[in-house]
Amino acid sequence: MLTPLHEIHVALGAVMTDFAGWAMPLRYGSESAEHRAVRTAAGIFDLSHMGEIEVVGPEAGRALDHALVSDISAIPVSRAKYTMICREDGGILDDLIVYRLADERYLVVANAANTGVVLDALRARVAGFRAEVRDRCADWALVAVQGPRAAAILADLTDAGLDDVRYYAIRAATVAGTEVLLARTGYTGEDGFEVFATPADAARIWEACLAVGSERGLVPAGLSCRDTLRLEAGMPLYGHELSADITPYEAGLGRVVKLDKAEDFIGRAALADRATAPVRRRLVGLVPDGRRSPRAGYAVLDPATGDHVGEVTSGAPSPTLGHPVAMAYVDAALAAPGTAVSVDVRGTREPARVTDLPFYRRGR
């Protein structure tokens, strides 16, 4: 599938790749340069592959309380919440952002690869509530402007007072003369905005942002740098740090689970058991001693015995920090920061140390 910005990506010389059935820009030039631009200035991303699902109706909030693990009905209008949809056994089907657009209207944004799974699960789970699930994927394009200069760039293009758009807030606005939903959310560890627009308006918004932002350092940015940005920020990626075989507690995200909310929800019993049981494995950061980068699927070993004690879920050289970083699930006994481990990097045991996440935090 092609996003509404496909022709622009091709004209910019982007290296394209298939991602969840979508033709997406991997990089436009140097992925390290794109990464550094987002950390120091700003980058613009095409996220139109993400899945937009609306849940509307008098009991939309209650229905989502039942379907998801968080207290969705408590979200104030014009605010958002990071949450998850889990199986009955507590395994994660997807991580989501839910925006409350009005009293009886919610926008659920799913990962591209899981949109169909989430849509089917929501439709099944809201049955019996006075609520309707609507597939809005074809109705929205999504453009993100991320980085410390994102607000300055968008301020020249929007009627919204950006100081009033708080983190994890959303509001109707105009950007480049087009009506949009403007959210202060992102997946890079930087300040930034996500602009939900009609597909017909996406190119106008993209081009206007670049016209205003280029002199401030704004660059087109692809999926490759988005991955290293979120890795540095310790943000999980479904299919790597999250899966149906992992619970929110193992992922260090038990805070999103609200066991005491009024509405019963799918996975509650299993997650209640997990909440009080010892966690057998934990998601941690790894910093290798050397220059070789651990990659997803590499084994984590006990350096004393050589026993398999975990697996790398994501890893890459960090353009910001200047050395490799990785995330991994390891046995809980080895999860304390400073613990020495080894990573099997193509047959060579490379020493590494466990560290807290994230590796990078804005403003530090």
- Over residues 107-162, the pLDDT tens digits come to 999 999 999 999 999 999 999 999 999 999 999 999 999 999 999 999 999 999 99
Look-up of token digits 């959210």: 183
Do 44 and 173 belong to one domain?
Answer: yes
**Could you tell me if 159 and 11 lie in one domain?**
yes
43 torsion bin: left (phi>0), alpha (psi -120 to 50), beta (else): beta
The pLDDT value given to residue 326: 98
The last residue of a domain, from among 174, 208, 232: 232
Please indicate, yes or no, if residue 115 is contained in any of the structural domains: no
Which pLDDT belongs to residue 105?
98
Q: Report how far residue 142's alpha carbon sits from residue 41's, in angstroms, rounded to the nearest whole number.
A: 20
Residue 314 one-letter amino acid: S
- Classify residue 74: in a domain, yes or no: no
The verdict on residue 119 lying in a domain is no
Average pLDDT over residues 164-182: 97
Tell me, yes or no, whether 204 and 283 share the same domain: no
Q: What is the mean pLDDT of residues 286-302?
A: 97
Residue 26 and residue 161 in one domain: yes
In this structure, is residue 42 part of a structural domain? Answer: yes
Query: What is the CB-side half-sphere exposure of residue 323 using CA atoms within 13 A?
Result: 9
Give SS3 for 231: helix
Residues 224 and 291 in one domain: no
- Residues 217 and 149 occupy one common structural domain: yes
Nearest to 91 by CA among 345, 225, 274, 224: 274
Residues 300, 318: Cα–Cα separation, whole Å: 19
Please report which confidence band the pLDDT of residue 305 belongs to, taking 50, 70 and 90 as the band edges. Answer: very high
CATH of the domain at 342: 2.40.30.110
Same domain, residue pair 188 and 315: no
Confidence (pLDDT) at 225: 98
254 with 84: CB under 8 angstroms? no
Which DSSP letter does residue 83 get?
E
Strands in 87-191 per DSSP E: 92-102, 105-110, 132-135, 141-146, 170-175, 178-183
User: Is 27 contained in some domain?
Assistant: yes
* Same domain? 27 vs 145: yes
> Is 259 within a domain?
no
User: How many Å separate Cα 73 from the centre of its chain?
Assistant: 22
Average pLDDT rounded to a whole number, residues 21-49: 98
Q: What is the average per-residue pLDDT within 155-181?
A: 96
158: DSSP letter:
B
C-alpha torsion sign, points 199, 201, 206, 207: positive
285 has pLDDT over 90: yes
Are 226 and 145 within one domain? yes
Domain final position from 172, 203, 232: 232
Q: Residue 83 pLDDT more than 80?
A: yes
Can you tell me whether residue 13 is helix, strand or coil?
coil
Q: What percent of the chain has pLDDT over 90?
A: 99
Confidence check: pLDDT of 258 > 90: yes
Q: Which domain does 32 fall in, by range?
A: 6-48+140-232
Please check whether residues 150 and 29 belong to one and the same domain.
Answer: yes
Q: Which pLDDT belongs to residue 17?
A: 98
3 state DSSP class of 115: helix
Nearest to residue 13, comparing CAs of 35, 1, 29?
A: 29
CATH code for the domain in which residue 14 is found: 3.30.1360.120
Instruction: Return the beta strands (E) in 13-65 as ranges.
Output: 15-19, 22-27, 42-46, 51-56
pTM, two decimals, is 0.97
CA distance to 79, 80, 83, 112, 242, per residue, from 108 (Å): 12, 10, 10, 12, 18
Asked whether the predicted pLDDT for residue 364 surpasses 80, the reply is: no
pLDDT per residue as tens digits for the range 183-237: 999 999 999 999 999 999 999 999 999 999 999 999 999 999 999 999 999 999 9
Does residue 148 have a cis bond before it (omega within 30 degrees)? Answer: no
Residue 44 pLDDT level (bands cut at 50, 70, 90) = very high
Residues 24/30/34/35 CA torsion (nearest 10 deg): 100
- 300 residue type, one letter: V
3-class SS at 242? strand
92-102: strand order across its sheet: 80-86, 92-102, 105-110, 51-56, 132-135
Report the number of distinct structural domains present in the chain. Answer: 2
* Structural domain contains residue 82: no
**Pair 210, 248: CB distance under 8 Å:** no
On average, the pLDDT of the chain sits at 97
Residue 75 lies in a domain: no
Claim to verify: residue 15 and residue 146 sit in the same structural domain: yes
Q: Which of 200, 232, 264 is the last residue of a domain?
A: 232
CB-CB contact of 285 with 326 (8 Å) = yes
Separation of alpha carbons 136 and 39, rounded Å? 32
The pLDDT value given to residue 363: 79
Which residue reads 């807290």 in tokens? 356
